[in-house]
Amino acid sequence: MSTPYQNAPVSSGAPVSATDYDGRPVLVAPETRRLDGAVREAVVPPFAPPVTHGSLADLPYENAEAAPGAVVLSRKLPDGSWTEVTAERFAAEVQAVAKGLIAEGLTPGDRIAVMARTTYDWTLLDFAAWAAGLVTVPIYPTSSVFQTRWILHDSGAVALVTENAAQAAAIGPELPHLPDLRHLWVMDKDHVAQLADVGAPVPDGEVGVRRGMLGPATLATLIYTSGTTGRPKGCALSHGNFFAEVDNAIELLHPVFKAQGEEPSVLLFLPMSHVFGRMVAIACVRARVRLGHAPSLAPDDLLPDLAAFRPTCLLTIPYMLEKIYNSARAKSEAGGRSSVFDRAAAVAQRYGEALEARQTGTGSGPSRALKTQRSLYDPLVYRRIRNAMGGRVRYVICGGSPLGRRLAAFYAGAGIEIFEGYGLTETTGASTVTPPLKPRLGTVGWPLPGTRVRIAADGEILLAGDHVLRGYWDPQAGGVVPATRDGWLPTGDLGELDDEGYLTITGRKKELLITAGGKSVAPAPLENWLRQHPLISQVMLVGDGRPYVAALITLDPEGITHWRQMIGKHPVPPELLAGDEELTAVLQRAVDEANKLVSRPESIRRFAVLPVDFREENGHLTPSMKLRREQIMRDFAHHVEDLYAG
């Protein structure tokens, strides 16, 4: 397979003058199309040829044949150490577990659900299930019993694998209501290894026969959208959807998956129940990039994993990058070096912006003085941040919500290249990605190769491409019902395309606030900006049908504790600070700064500090950290009313 940097199709878009990481010419810009003076469509042709036969189930076997000794995964042992897993060994484990699933009576097309954190066994089960001709159904380990029962019932899953006994026990009382569910296995009870033992008598050829039955159009997985409202829908993604996604992503993100020199590696800690994590895991196996799994996001667990695994690339969401930045600043402030950190942050931001200017042809790049300043602050600040990520991280793939120009520029200046992306479960992950060496900070990049992006008359983003799902799972309708209209998937998101085809997300169609004065307000820009403040955890704007825009703000416990210590006061729980005058003044200054981003009718006039944070377990956030606005409005209705009283 040739790399696009060698044989790039010529587009009618603006040429790119930069060179890629190996010195070869980079692609030209996407082809863009205008309507009524505005760019309405951007198209990038595929970099990778379409897969016409076979399935994801073949990947471990192809790797074992091509490079049996290549280290494709690392598995964390109970003592915290890591052991290498070669392509040959992984294929053998996939084969053994697939035979076990066959021995247990699972037949081609059966659905098998997996409810676990991000672990090695998750990826093993994924490929083993496909090798046995099955369809995997991920379930978030934080899902309620009601949500779990709904997914199991709707998908018709015949088997469920949980991570621990507590999850299995929770679903136990629901088993009489799940007539299709015949098997319940627990990872912590070593049931995955026992499956391999049970399958020993099954001939190897039986797995080969089942793999041979699969093709690109075969259903691979049903991923249920977490949903900010209503019941989740099962997105039916095929093997071909994943190939179109990962093959083009691998070719585009050449430095992540194919860079020469240092061995590329990815530590995955985002949920594999989410399409973002699954897509990157499959891409790593496809590209033979060493993959590790970290089950916990708690700093006490994750930091040792990062230090031991030492990845070159991380997959994350803006919330995590914001926490890393705020934590680094808090440590500097506690050590009496806050002014040093702030100067370093300003230098990094300017440096990142200068890099962007050079790469986009709008500037000459960092000046000699700026390079000198950056060199001064690297050991004092930037290297500490990189070390917190394991010491070798050079790239971060970030998605879920917009990162923001300021933070993206900071990380670029600190020596970590951010590839920001945008996509949905329905698009098998990313549909737009920051192109290497051609960033535009504050945007979510160009269309992923093979993707068409269109902006509808009302501003809604429409997507098309081979990575777009077959449809939604609907057992009442006999299987899968179409999700697209004339080949285009309506996303519900609002956005804008610039002259070079970069996409900027401006909000959610259903989340637009229309004030009593008729002003339409997209809440995302202000919410995202305020959420970067070290004292703020979450923000939700309100004001639909009201005379002005207001905000509900929750506090970050770590940030509040640090702030109280720095002003010489004893730490107190955040819920006791809702009326604190000093805190109100600090937050008001943050709101005033945020309001500079928008016009007066769009600005936040009042805010309320809530006594609790928005969390997934209380129903206020989805597993991917999105606000459940309707639930929040119900639970804090009296706070909202107080904002408009008097």
What average pLDDT does the segment 54-77 reach? 97
CB contact at 8 A, 624 and 142: no
Q: Per DSSP, which regions of 347-459 are E strands? A: 395-398, 417-424, 429-433, 446-447, 451-455
Rounded to the nearest integer, the mean pLDDT of the chain is 90
pLDDT band at residue 227 using 50, 70 and 90 as cut-offs: low
Interval 272-284 mean pLDDT:
94
Domain 56-214+265-305 listed as CATH 3.40.50.12780 = yes
Output the pLDDT for position 143: 85
3-state DSSP helix/strand/coil % of the chain, to nearest 5: 40, 25, 40
pLDDT at 20 over 50: no
Q: What is the pLDDT of residue 646?
A: 62
As a whole number of angstroms, the distance between CA 197 and CA 193 comes to: 7
361 confidence band (pLDDT: 50, 70, 90): confident
Per-residue pLDDT tens over the stretch 587-625: 999 999 999 888 888 899 999 999 899 988 888 988 777
Q: Residue 473 has what pLDDT? A: 95
CB 44 within 8 A of CB 450: yes
Question: What is the band of 230 on the pLDDT scale with cuts at 50, 70, 90?
Answer: low
pLDDT surpasses 50 at 632: yes
pLDDT value, residue 208:
97
Position 28 scores a pLDDT of 53
Q: What is the residue whose two structure tokens read 């996407």?
A: 30
Q: Which of 227-231, 475-479, 515-519 has the highest mean pLDDT?
A: 475-479
Q: What percent of the chain has pLDDT over 90?
A: 66
Model confidence at 56, in pLDDT bands (50, 70, 90)? Answer: very high
Q: Which one, of 201, 172, 10, 28, lies nearest residue 102 by Cα? A: 201
Q: Which of 24-38, 228-242, 333-347 has the lowest mean pLDDT?
A: 24-38
Q: Report the pLDDT value the prediction gives residue 19, as an integer from 0 to 100.
A: 43
Domain with CATH 3.40.50.12780 in the chain: 56-214+265-305
Quick check: 17 pLDDT over 60?
no
**Alpha-carbon dihedral of residues 535, 540, 541, 542, nearest 10 degrees?**
-130
Q: How large a percentage of the chain has pLDDT more than 70?
A: 94
Q: Which two tokens stand for residue 47?
A: 């970099």
pLDDT at 484 over 60: yes
Rounded Cα distance, 542 and 436, in Å: 38
pLDDT at residue 4 is higher than 80: no
The per-residue pLDDT for range 154-207, each reduced to its tens digit, is 999 999 999 999 999 999 999 999 999 999 999 999 999 999 999 999 999 999
Predicted local confidence at residue 162, as pLDDT: 98
pLDDT, tens digit, 9 for 90 and up, residues 545-578: 889 999 999 999 888 988 988 888 888 887 778 7
Q: If you average pLDDT over residues 331-359, what whole number do you get?
A: 92
pLDDT (average), residues 401-411: 86
pLDDT of res. 130: 98
Q: Is 457 helix (H, G, I), strand (E, B) or coil?
A: coil
Across the range 47-51, mean pLDDT stands at: 93
Entry pTM? 0.84
The pLDDT of 337-365, averaged and rounded, is 92
> What are the pLDDT digits (tens) for 574-584?
777 878 899 99
Pick the CATH number of 512-643 from 3.40.50.150, 3.30.365.10, 3.30.300.30, 3.40.50.720: 3.30.300.30
The whole-number average pLDDT for the span 349-354 is: 96
Grade residue 70 by pLDDT with cuts at 50, 70 and 90: very high
For range 70-97, the mean pLDDT: 96
To 10 degrees, the CA torsion angle through 319, 324, 325, 327? 120
pLDDT of residue 110: 98
**Tokens representing residue 267 in the block:** 């530590």
- Distance CA(89)–CA(321), nearest Å, equals 35
> Where are the domain boundaries for CATH 3.30.300.30 in the chain?
512-643
Helices marked H in 264-298:
275-287
Q: Which residue has the tokens 């099955």?
A: 134
Name the least confident of 117-131, 267-281, 564-578: 564-578
Q: With a cut of 70, say whether residue 287 has pLDDT above it.
A: yes
